[in-house]
Amino acid sequence: MALDLLTVILLSVLPISELRGAIPYGIIIANLNPVLVFLTAVVSNIIIIPTIFFFLDYVHQHLMGIRLYNSLFGKFIERTQHKAQNHISKYGYLGLVLLVAIPLPITGAYTGTLAAWLFNMKRKKSLLALSFGVVIAGSIVTALVLSGIEASIFLNNRLIN
């Protein structure tokens, strides 16, 4: 169980998987308690937000001199600016919540934090908005996973009987 929880934490803080990978893994693969998985994944994903801000504020400037980093990160910045522009300019912090809350690829805490940083949004308000978005996204993913499990059980029972 401890190793499975560690895996949930690791998946929650990775930029590709975040909650969308951690919650299904914890509930479906590791067969952990859904409430425990939700809380672990959400808290882990929220904890990474200040780390991302720190990276963008201090480490990013030093790495921009490296050609490979600059080309890869430059593309990610362009994509994030394009994706977040409408949400942020129209809705402000609510747009930031929505950007993170919708559990689709290339949305989540990393993209939301980068958007808040790019648009020079206030840190405390951004952290609150991003955290709220993570809680919503975690709730959506958990509900979808549990609904899928229930649907599978229902269909299996119908086929067997």
What tens digit of pLDDT does each residue of 50-104 get?
Answer: 999 999 988 888 887 888 888 888 787 888 888 788 878 889 999 999 999 999 8
Q: Which amino acid is at 96?
A: L
pLDDT digits (tens, 9 = 90+) for 42-51: 999 999 999 9
pLDDT, mean of residues 29-43: 98
CA 13 to chain centre: 8
The two most distant CA atoms of the chain are separated, in Å, by 65
What is the sign, positive or negative, of the torsion defined by CA atoms of 147, 151, 152, 153?
positive
| Rounded percentage of the chain residues whose pLDDT exceeds 90 | 66
Please give the torsion angle defined by the CA atoms of residues 97, 103, 107 and 113, in that order, rounded to the nearest 10 degrees: 40
**Cβ pair 65, 57 in contact under 8 A:** no
d(CA 25, CA 14): 13
Three-state SS annotation for 53-111: HHHHHHHHHHHCCCHHHHHHHHHHHHHHHHHHHHHHHHHCHHHHHHHHHCCCCCCCHHH
pLDDT value at position 20? 95
DSSP state of 102: S
DSSP state of 79: H
pLDDT bracket for residue 161 (50, 70, 90): low
pLDDT value at position 63? 84
For the entire predicted model, the pTM comes to: 0.88
149, pLDDT greater than 70:
yes
